[in-house]
Amino acid sequence: MEEDKPFVYKYNNPIEQGYIKIKLSKEEHKNIFGRSRGHGTKYEYYENENFFMLHRFIRTWVKVANILMYPVLLLIHGVGNIKELNSDIGNLFNEKQGGHFYSDWKRKDRLLEKGIKFVDHFEEDK
CA gap 13, 124 in Å, rounded: 22
pTM summary value: 0.80
Q: What's the Cα-to-Cα distance from 28 to each of 37, 51, 61, 116, 126, rounded to whole Å?
A: 11, 14, 25, 10, 21
Torsion angle of the four alpha carbons 65, 70, 72, 78, in this order, in degrees rounded to the nearest 10: 140
Domain ranges of the chain: 14-125
pLDDT in tens, 1-53: 566 778 888 889 999 999 999 999 999 999 999 888 888 999 999 999 999 99
Which phi and psi angles does 108 have, rounded to 5°? Answer: -65, -40
